[in-house]
């Protein structure tokens, strides 16, 4: 039987997918956040270096102004993006060829700032160098280290502020992260670049910041863990709790006790709702089946008890008085035994037939309808008049079930027609095949009309009626999804089978 449709609900696979997706997204967000945070720290480092470079440039400008040299500091804005590129580390080199000497005014100004720069590097950890127009250190010495091969210095020598992220040496500790920020700020004179303030320092390490903000980070981590635990606990209860309740209900059913009512909550997965519906249907079917078997057994035992009692009583009498019993009386007792045995045989055959029909599935065969009806009615001779002119040639139904249903209806009508003819008419109403069997008997009383399809109910028991014929017809109609209707009055009774 097809289960009734359920509202659209999440299935277990969807809940697991949501959980896994949440964990994956959380990890991806962590990686993205860490990368953005690292980029932000690099940007903050560059901004700090710009501020310090401007301070050094202003101090140098002041010294040069005292020497009669007018210079200005180039405009500088942060250049490193969040997705910055890392360049290889390059060491300052001594040029193979002699480079022009540093102008005396610049060399003097740099020398005047030497203590200031050393003190700043000690306190701030920023490495500061002042380069001349050739990209070498602004010193009075002829042989000087030059940085003109480094990209940020090259751009600064062209009059433009530049910055790069440079890889740290392999000897750097792991917590120092992996980049140093270097900036080059040009100082412009009347004839172009007069000097370049070159500064470098390690970027702020994310691990260092985490340690500085360890209590805030710990609180955030605990909050994430609590949320993850709550989400896991919620999904666990959503899945395991209703399954446990259904398991307990199944145990109650297995012990033969009534099932405890259970309605899954609105958060339960669709599978749980479907399982609960299937369990309800199974319980209902088992209950109906148990009631059917109990009623069937009670009725069968009652019906079989009467002929068995008659046979046993007749046998006891024959055993006790066989020698003294007149022949006529012995024959009467033997005839009663035979009659009761025949009734038992007929009753058992009908019971088996009813049980087989109620437990079978209707085979969808194309059975010749007119031919089958005519063959059945020919066995009753002129007692049955048939009209199959409006009947379809075939019917999608098991031939055995069709013969059983029609034969029982015709046989019942013939036995109650009082010798009058029985009419059988077959037609198709556009939806179903209708088979109507009418007799001209005395009709069925109002008290018996509601019981005629019950098993073992009969008003013709003395003439061999078992009370199973109409029950078999109804079982066939139910199996086919059809129905059996009856209309009765003092002029006769009509049974209409719709299949």
Q: What is the pLDDT of residues 314-361, one digit of tens each?
A: 788 788 777 777 878 878 878 878 877 877 777 777 777 777 776 666
| Residue in the structure block whose two tokens are 């088979």 | 435
Q: What share of the chain is helix, strand, coil (3-state, %, to 5)?
A: 55, 15, 30
Global pTM value:
0.46
Q: CATH 3.30.565.10 in the chain, residues?
A: 363-499
Is the Cβ–Cβ distance between 110 and 139 less than 8 Å? yes
| CATH code that applies to domain 363-499 | 3.30.565.10
Q: CATH 1.10.287.130 in the chain, residues?
A: 282-359
Asked whether the predicted pLDDT for residue 79 surpasses 60, the reply is yes
- Using alpha carbons, list the distances in angstroms from residue 226 to 51, 219, 234: 42, 10, 12
Q: Select from 143, 132, 237, 127 the least CA-distant residue to 180.
A: 127
User: Band of the pLDDT at 94, cuts 50, 70, 90?
Assistant: low
Rounded CA-CA distance 148/15 in Å is 60
Task: Give residue 163's pLDDT.
Answer: 93
Rounded CA-CA distance 443/477 in Å is 23
Q: Considering only CA atoms, give the Rg of the chain.
A: 53
- Tokens, residue 297: 């057994």
At 257, give phi and psi (nearest 5°): -95, 155
Give pLDDT tens digits for 148-197.
Answer: 888 999 999 999 999 999 887 765 555 555 688 999 999 998 889 999 99
DSSP symbol at 491:
T
At 495, give phi and psi (nearest 5°): -105, 130
Rounded CA-CA distance 382/385 in Å is 7
What lies within 8 Å, CB to CB, of 140 at 6+ separation is: 101, 102, 104, 107, 111
Residue 370's Cβ-count burial label (10 Å; 0-12, 13-18, 19+) is middle
Domain 282-359 CATH assignment equals 1.10.287.130: yes
């Amino acid at each position: 039987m097809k289960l009734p449709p359920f509202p659209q609900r999440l299935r277990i696979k969807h809940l697991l997918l949501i959980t896994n997706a949440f964990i994956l997204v959380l990890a991806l967000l962590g990686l993205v956040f860490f990368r953005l945070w690292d980029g932000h720290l690099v940007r903050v480092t560059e901004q700090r270096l710009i501020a310090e470079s401007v301070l050094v440039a202003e101090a140098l400008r002041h010294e040069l102004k005292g020497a009669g040299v007018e210079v200005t500091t180039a405009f500088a804005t942060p250049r490193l993006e969040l997705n910055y590129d890392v360049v290889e580390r390059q060491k300052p080199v001594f040029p193979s060829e002699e480079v022009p000497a540093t102008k005396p005014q610049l060399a003097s100004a740099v020398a005047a700032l030497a203590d200031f720069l050393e003190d700043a590097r000690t306190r701030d950890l920023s490495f500061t160098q002042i380069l001349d127009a050739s990209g070498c250190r602004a010193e009075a010495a002829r042989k000087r280290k030059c940085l003109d091969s480094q990209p940020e210095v090259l751009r600064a020598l062209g009059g433009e502020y530049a910055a790069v992220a440079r890889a740290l040496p392999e000897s750097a500790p792991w917590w120092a992260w992996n980049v140093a920020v270097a900036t080059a700020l040009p100082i412009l004179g009347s004839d172009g670049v007069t000097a370049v303030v070159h500064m470098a320092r390690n970027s702020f390490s994310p691990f260092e910041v985490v340690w500085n903000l360890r209590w805030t980070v710990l609180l955030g981590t605990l909050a994430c863990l609590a949320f993850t635990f709550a989400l896991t606990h919620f999904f666990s209860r959503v899945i395991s709790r209703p399954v446990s309740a259904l398991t307990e209900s199944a145990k109650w059913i297995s012990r033969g006790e009534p099932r405890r009512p259970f309605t899954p909550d609105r958060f339960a997965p669709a599978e749980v709702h479907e399982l609960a519906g299937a369990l309800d249907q199974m319980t209902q079917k088992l209950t109906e089946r148990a009631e059917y078997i109990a009623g069937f057994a009670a009725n069968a035992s009652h019906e079989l008890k009467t002929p068995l009692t008659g046979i046993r009583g007749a046998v006891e009498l024959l055993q006790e008085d066989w020698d003294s019993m007149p022949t006529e009386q012995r024959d009467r007792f033997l005839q009663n035994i035979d009659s009761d045995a025949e009734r038992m045989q007929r009753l058992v055959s009908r019971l088996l037939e009813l049980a087989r029909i109620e437990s079978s599935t209707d085979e969808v065969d194309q059975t010749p309808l007119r031919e089958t009806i005519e063959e059945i009615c020919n066995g009753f001779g002129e007692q049955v008049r048939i009209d199959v002119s409006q009947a379809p040639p075939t019917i999608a139904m098991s031939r055995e079930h069709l013969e059983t249903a029609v034969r029982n209806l015709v046989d019942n009508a013939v036995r109650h027609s009082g010798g009058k003819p029985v009419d059988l008419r077959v037609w198709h109403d556009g939806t179903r095949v209708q088979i109507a069997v009418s007799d001209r008997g005395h009709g069925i009383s109002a008290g018996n009309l509601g019981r005629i399809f019950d098993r073992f109910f009969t008003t013709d028991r003395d003439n061999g009626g078992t009370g199973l014929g109409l029950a078999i017809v109804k079982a066939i109609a139910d199996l086919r999804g059809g129905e059996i209707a009856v209309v009765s009055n003092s002029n006769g009774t009509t049974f209409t089978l719709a299949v």
